[in-house]
Chain A
Amino acid sequence: MDFSPTQEQAALKESARRLCERDYGFEQRRHRIRGAEGFSRDLWKTFADLGWLGAGLSEDDFGYGGGPVETALLQEEFGRVLLVEPYLSCAIIAARAVVALGDPAQKEALLAPLVAGEKLIALAHNEAAMRGDDAAVRTEARLTADGWRLEGRKAFVLGGSSADILLVSARTPGGVSLFEVPADAAGLEVVAYHAVDGRRVADLMLTDVAVDDAARIGPEGGALPGIELAVDHGVIALMAECVGAMDAALWLTRDYLTTRKQFGVTLNTFQALQHRMADMLVETELARSMLLRGIAALSDPDPRARRAGVSAAKVQIAEAAVKVTGEAIQMHGGIGVTEEYVVGHFYKRAVLARGLFGSIDLHLERFAAWSRKAVA
């Protein structure tokens, strides 16, 4: 075992920290969120130039030889500044779906432009009734003489509003299949809206959307394992954001307490608050540790063990994030609940992370089912 980052990993983290500090001030972020697309295309281009869009992909997959560790290092930095660019949805989840399911030609056609920042791709798998149960796909694809016809509705698709290409899962005779659908396909309606944490998301209405069989990514009826793997990568990456957000909220609060005065002294002198800060640190350090186990779980060859490890990370880290960032608001007093100050936005991201890809309850169940089996 070795928990220390390699030189390259340390350098990647360092450059992400520097860029975020320089180009991702809270005011700049606010400006981006209110813009038409809700994020900065220029910054996306910079990410591509820096190699970040392929930082977590192997060279065979048109990346730069990294993996989930590199992804997590970047995501933690992105969490600190509450990044809203579609990194999670495009460079992690969609990319992982293609890696898991695409044939060599599809990988080249999709991953090369994704990594170059030329195309935005999103995985449109989630549906309103799914609630983290990835098998519960209701969107259907019908085979016709000249390809497939898709019908159904996708919900809360991360990065869905700006994607050039949507990877849409649908039920086919053999099970769940995945299809590449261009954003301008006839019969596809994209309804964009705002998620709690400043990201844009979209619902997709698919009405008799036609695609050829060549647009199918992965085996007919056999896409679910690949989709689940992609989602698992997404969950862990989101938990890495949480660790960054918690850590930032923790130290911001610490600094605030040392400057804010009430009753003639700075707030940090009150032991009631010191102990609460200490608990926040405990939660943050445990979350950081759990993240490593979550990253390790991603390469478990047994899918059930992998999913259980991911669920464990989600429960521990997301709950800690809600708690720590909520405490950060409380200890700021009134300023903490304002839209114009950053601390409340850490909480918003934590709330998103807790709810996305299945509730805490779902992940507890998933972990318990696996753990139970180990006893038998």
Chain B
Amino acid sequence: MNFDLDPADAAFQAEMRAFIRQALPADIARRGRQGFHATHDDVQAWMRILNARGLAAVHWPRQHGGTDWSPLRRHLFQVELRAAGTPVPDQAALELVGPVIYTFGDEVQKARYLPAILNADTFWCQGFSEPNSGSDLASLKTRAVRDGDHYVVNGQKTWTSEAHKADMMFALVRTDGEARPQAGISFLLIDMKSPGVSVRPIYTINEGLSVNEVFLDNVRVPAENLVGEENRGWGYAKFLLTNERTMSAETPHTAFDLEQVKQIAAVERRGGRPLIEDPLFAARLARFEIELRALEAAVLRVLHMGENDPALNATASVLKLRGSELRQRIADLAVEALGDHGLAVFPDVEGQDNMDVLAPVPPAPDYAAGWLSRAMFRRATTIYGGANEIQRTIIAKSVLGL
């Protein structure tokens, strides 16, 4: 074993850091540090800067516009993107539907959708969950009935992130009501501008808008928008969710947050000294940092495992579980570090999705903005992408064989 970063990889990391520093517009970087949801324009502008360099989707295969970088380099690039506070791109497109399209889609679909994703011309949303189908996703009821060269879709999706900004939705729909639940599901690409699609916003406890209800009322979807084969959608969804799991530790995000919390703790004072020198607070910060290091090591282990390594499944499961908890805890620690400032509601004045546009801005230092909002929204990190209870069940069943 050798735990040092290869000199070539270290050089690569330095190069990426320099590139991002030079390429990221200052106003986008400033908003990124505030931690509100990135605006559509910021995401698009940044994605296009990356795409011009061929770096919009480094984890995609080269022939589809990605790179042939090693998993470690892809990870290092992520670390640098986060550390600079770049806007979080359209993950539904880049992480979820893109890989499904280039793996299972036909040539027409690849040509039509992939370049538009890379250049942020189209934004996507994930239409899986329904009001009565959350953890038990396979019970979903939205129906698609074939009518000539179209499917007619009826039903309701919910918790659909970014549906209000999305151009396209990839949805799981039931095409066979007779089969076993998992066997009757198809994977359909739906244009959000189609007649019969309506979107209702759901405000979340950060007083922001990111999730929505999507109603599908006799929506006609061209049959060519079916990905892969009819009634095979569950398999594609599982492929997609597995991809998601390895990404989901989000340690680069958490590391970025931790750096910011340290900076706050160096400025905020209690009992006559900076918080960072306060033994109680410093101990909590240290404990957090230590846990993050362990998780980062787990991420690196996973990156170096072959796809058939028997340990992969166990380690990957750890990532989502503990990663989502750390995401929550670091924002909570920031709120505590901020004292009273952490308890005041900061409206996202530059954002587009603020619930109460008239809410006053509290008098407080700039670095306080956005943390309460983050801490509130992050209650969801242990719920979305398969709730942590479900992850534990997966570990118990498929790893421990219980």
The interface of chain A, by Cβ under 8 A from chain B, is: 34, 126, 128-129, 131, 133, 155-156, 191-196, 201, 203, 261-264, 270, 272-273, 326, 329-330, 333-334, 336-340, 344-345, 347-348, 351-352, 354-356, 359-362, 364-365
Contacts and interface: CB of A to CB of B under 8 A. Distances in A.
Contacts of B158: 334
A34 B359 CA distance: 9
17 contacts: A128-B341, A128-B364, A131-B340, A155-B340, A191-B363, A194-B345, A263-B136, A264-B136, A272-B393, A326-B379, A330-B383, A334-B384, A339-B204, A355-B339, A359-B336, A359-B339, A361-B281
Given A261-B132, A337-B204, A348-B376, A196 B383 contact: no
Interface string B368-394: 000010011101101110011100110
Q: Is the interface of B mostly helix, strand, loop or mixed?
A: mixed
Nearest to A364: B280
Interface of B: 129, 132-136, 139, 158-159, 202-205, 207, 211, 269-271, 278, 280-281, 335-336, 339-345, 355-356, 359-364, 372, 375-377, 379-380, 382-384, 387-389, 392-393
A314 B383 CA distance: 29
Contacts of B129: 334
A271 to B, nearest CB: 11
B344 A201 contact: yes
Contacts of B389: 270, 272-273
Given A191-B363, A348-B376, A128 B340 contact: yes
A365 B280 contact: yes
Contacts of B379: 326, 329-330, 336-337, 344, 347
A117 B139 CA distance: 55
B285 to A, nearest CB: 12
Contacts of B340: 126, 128, 131, 155-156, 355-356
A282 B83 CA distance: 41
9 closest residue pairs by CB, A with B: A344-B205, A156-B340, A193-B362, A339-B203, A194-B345, A361-B280, A262-B136, A337-B380, A263-B136
Contacts of A352: 343
B343 to A, nearest CB: 5
Given A194-B345, A344-B379, A351-B343, A333 B204 contact: no
B23 to A, nearest CB: 34
A196 B343 contact: yes
B380 A356 contact: no
B345 A330 contact: no
Nearest to A191: B363
A360 B342 CA distance: 14
Contacts of A270: 389
A333 B135 contact: yes
Given A133-B271, A262-B135, A264-B136, 19 more contacts: A128-B341, A133-B270, A193-B344, A194-B344, A196-B345, A334-B383, A336-B383, A337-B205, A337-B377, A337-B380, A338-B204, A344-B376, A344-B379, A348-B376, A355-B340, A356-B340, A356-B343, A360-B336, A364-B280
A155 B372 CA distance: 17
Nearest to B159: A334
Contacts of B269: 129, 131
Contact of B339 (A131, A193, A333): A131
B380 A272 contact: no
